[in-house]
Structure 1
Amino acid sequence: MEHSLLHSIKILKKEIVMDDLLCDFDTKNRAVKNLGAFSSTYMSKEAEEVFIKFSSINAVDSCAYPEIEEMSQYCGNFLLNMFHAASPERYQFFPTSGSSEAIFLAILLFKNHWKVHHPDSTIKPNLIIHQTSHVAFVSAAKALDVELKIIQKDYENLRWNLSQLKENIDKGTIGVVCTLGATTTLVMDEVEKINAVLESISEHSDYLIPIHVDAASGGFIAPFVHPDFIWDFRLSHVKSINVSSHKYGLVYPSLGWLCVDEMICDDNLKNENTYLGKSIKRLPLHFSHSASHVATQFYYFKNLGWSGYADIVKDLYQKNKLMVDALKEVPELEMLTPNHLFSIPGVIMRSSNEKHYDLQALSQYLIKLDWHLPVFNNNVVDEGASQTWAARIVIRYGLTEDLIYQLLGDIKGYFSSQFS
């Protein structure tokens, strides 16, 4: 009797939990209507089937599943080709849990490379970033005891202040970070100009200061639509690049990659083990992880290829133009996304009357219609401003024209009801 009662209670609790999880939680619709997310919220039906099929497989276990290692190799070589690695054998690549882990590993490699060339230095190593760099660099620098030097933007055009960059470089500088699609501006840094500054410095030094490019978002954008935009391994100082498959690579979270020049690699930093039946040496911090992500990225690379990705990215920019042109007709909003610089598809905007509560109110209104519009403090666009409230709309795969027209109608409907 007691056993039967306990069994019934367990079944009842299970049903309650499932009801709580599934009730009023439309994951597909809410994810696609999350306007500020950079991560993929939509995959094709076939890609989802691949994702599910490989979900139970541990990607690290190359002894039991050598096919996954072959898929990873294919993906890494595809990326190296995307990033113009002239001699792929000179480079290594590592799948990571995302760009945050890749960023940590890149700084670790940069710091170690600097120490090898400055074995007797008592200077605290420093890394130069800019004010739109991802917060992951702050976290990684703290963990690795690296000082951060933060360069300000030129507020008139959102470009790097190159003279300030040059002034901040010293014998403790382990590297410089550029971003291809900042979260607060969507702008792609002019890496070629920063590379030129470092080349001028290297003429008078025996130490080459490397550049790390955080291409989490833009790495899957620039190669397909901006072929003349030079930012990758074609540049002499670019020695590492991170990119996220779970952003414009079209794969669900969480998969990133770190591609690095052999020049800054050190096998002594890799961890060796024989847990799975053979000796494995790995740099990434994460160990067991599902093969779903690598398998799905492999599927997309094989089925879309270069031309397929190019078609998708061009379509995103067409939708972006549709969005921007329509929002420019809304007098209550001001577009902050610069037209004169390369940027990933999306919109940064603020209230044109500078009353930030209007933007907050718009966000709350859209929530009732199942949209999520993030409003955040974006003081990088106004010199001396302590608070400049802005909102971000990211144009991603899966955001259809019908949804865009629906969103535009909802935004215009809000302002017409408030100010008519």
Structure 2
Amino acid sequence: MALHKVTESGLSEIEDVYATDSASRRLPRFRIPNLSSAAQPIYDLVRDELLLDGNSSQNLATFCTTWSEPEGRQLMADSINKNMIDKDEYPQTAEIENRCVHMIADLWHAPGAHNAVGCSTTGSSEACMLGGLALKWRWRNRRIAAGKSYAKPNFVCGPVQVCWHKFARYFDVEIRQVPLEGDALGLRPGDLKKYCDENTIGVIPTLGVTFTGVYEPVAALAVALDDLQRETGLDIPIHVDAASGGFIAPFIEPTLKWDFRVERVKSISASG
């Protein structure tokens, strides 16, 4: 039992975080406290809670970079107070983003990479949403031009991360997730003919399936879609969810064709 009352100042070099007033009561859960607290004790207490999380460096299924140079972290800290979506207020940040887009377009063999269109997003889920919407609107425009109904869009995929289920629900698109049969670990070319039709806005292969890390065979899927087009006239594009593979495959498997070298690939999203 303490023999004296500690005054929480946040300035004492010898004050123990666990002896402060903040540590003597539970951290707030439902409402903002009436009184302020010193920053350092709150930081320490929240950091202690975060230790209960899993170790991200040992998470082999993560799509996030788990280590980066201190200089990269410092640049992020330097920019944390910028609303980077405001391109007029922060034009140089926008310029740096454009440089990154062109570099990645070149990495993924986009034709005319210096004129490529792309953007950063708040997480790869948002990137998948944008890719899916691009497929939907382009398909809808083709249907309108042909005088046909655009009421029942669908997309075809294998085992995907949950954001694609969210896309299907949010934007009213049927998800045709091909079940795995036999020794299959992902979407296979022979699956497409059964699941694709005139309402298919696109096929979504994953380069680094969440559950196994497997690269679904983008080039082979494109060949199957080429065959389907010759048979039926259906011209179905591919969006590659490059997930964990988009920034790995170009360096360790540079000859693997999964990107814009495959003509049917119209868009790519990836996790950083």
TM-score of the two chains, using structure 2 as the length reference = 0.78
Question: Paired residue for 2:166?
Answer: 139
Question: Paired residue for 1:124?
Answer: 152
Distance 1:114 1:24 in 2: 47
Aligned pairs for 1:279-290 (under 5 A) are none
Which has the greater radius of gyration?
2
Give secondary structure in 2 for the equivalent of 1:93.
coil
Distance 1:17 1:204 in 2: 65
Instruction: Say whether 1:41 aligns with 2:69.
Output: no
Question: Paired residue for 1:224?
Answer: 251
Question: Paired residue for 2:201?
Answer: 174
Give secondary structure in 2 for the equivalent of 1:115.
helix
2:100 counterpart letter in structure 1: C
Question: Paired residue for 2:5?
Answer: none
1:67 counterpart letter in structure 2: Q
Aligned residues: 238
Contact 1:153 / 1:161 at 8 angstroms: preserved in 2? no
Instruction: Say whether 1:113 aligns with 2:138.
Output: yes
Alpha-carbon distance, 1:41 to partner: 2.6
Aligned pairs for 1:41-120 (under 5 A) are 41-88=66-113, 91-119=116-144, 120=147
Give secondary structure in 2 for the equivalent of 1:128.
strand
Of 116-125 and 191-200, more deviation after overlay is shown by: 116-125
CA 1:116/1:223 → structure 2, altered by over 3 Å: closer, same or farther?
Answer: same
Contact 1:28 / 1:41 at 8 angstroms: preserved in 2? no
Higher-helix-fraction structure: 1
Give secondary structure in 2 for the equivalent of 1:220.
coil
Alpha-carbon distance, 1:61 to partner: 2.5
Distance 1:33 1:79 in 2: 27
CA 1:155/1:148 → structure 2, altered by over 3 Å: closer, same or farther?
Answer: same
Alpha-carbon distance, 1:79 to partner: 0.7
Give secondary structure in 1 for the equivalent of 2:197.
coil
Alpha-carbon distance, 1:59 to partner: 1.2
Contact 2:187 / 2:205 at 8 angstroms: preserved in 1? no
Alpha-carbon distance, 1:35 to partner: 5.2
Match of 1:160 among 175, 181, 187: 187
Distance 1:35 1:227 in 2: 22
Distance 1:27 1:225 in 2: 34
CA 1:90/1:121 → structure 2, altered by over 3 Å: closer, same or farther?
Answer: farther
Alpha-carbon distance, 1:206 to partner: 5.2
Unaligned runs of 5+ in 1: 1-7, 246-420
Distance 1:28 1:158 in 2: 29
Match of 2:266 among 233, 239, 257: 239
Alpha-carbon deviations, 1:107-162, whole Å to 9, x = none?
Answer: 111111111111133351111111x1111111101111111112133432525343
Distance 2:58 2:194 in 1: 44
Give secondary structure in 2 for the equivalent of 1:179.
coil
Aligned pairs for 1:296-311 (under 5 A) are none
Distance 1:99 1:92 in 2: 17
Contact 1:232 / 1:238 at 8 angstroms: preserved in 2? yes
Alpha-carbon deviations, 1:180-216, whole Å to 9, x = none?
Answer: 0011111001111100011112234555211010002
Contact 1:152 / 1:161 at 8 angstroms: preserved in 2? no
Question: Paired residue for 1:337?
Answer: none
Match of 1:191 among 213, 218, 231: 218
Contact 2:188 / 2:221 at 8 angstroms: preserved in 1? no
Question: Paired residue for 2:228?
Answer: 201
2:136 counterpart letter in structure 1: K
Distance 2:142 2:232 in 1: 12
Contact 2:209 / 2:243 at 8 angstroms: preserved in 1? no
CA 1:149/1:31 → structure 2, altered by over 3 Å: closer, same or farther?
Answer: closer
CA 1:13/1:127 → structure 2, altered by over 3 Å: closer, same or farther?
Answer: same
Unaligned runs of 5+ in 2: 1-20, 22-33
Aligned pairs for 1:365-380 (under 5 A) are none
Alpha-carbon distance, 1:19 to partner: 5.0
Alpha-carbon deviations, 1:262-285, whole Å to 9, x = none?
Answer: xxxxxxxxxxxxxxxxxxxxxxxx
Alpha-carbon distance, 1:168 to partner: 1.5
Higher-strand-fraction structure: 1
CA 1:28/1:66 → structure 2, altered by over 3 Å: closer, same or farther?
Answer: farther
CA 1:125/1:27 → structure 2, altered by over 3 Å: closer, same or farther?
Answer: same
1:70 counterpart letter in structure 2: E
CA 1:71/1:90 → structure 2, altered by over 3 Å: closer, same or farther?
Answer: closer
- Percent identity over the alignment is 31
Distance 1:16 1:178 in 2: 47
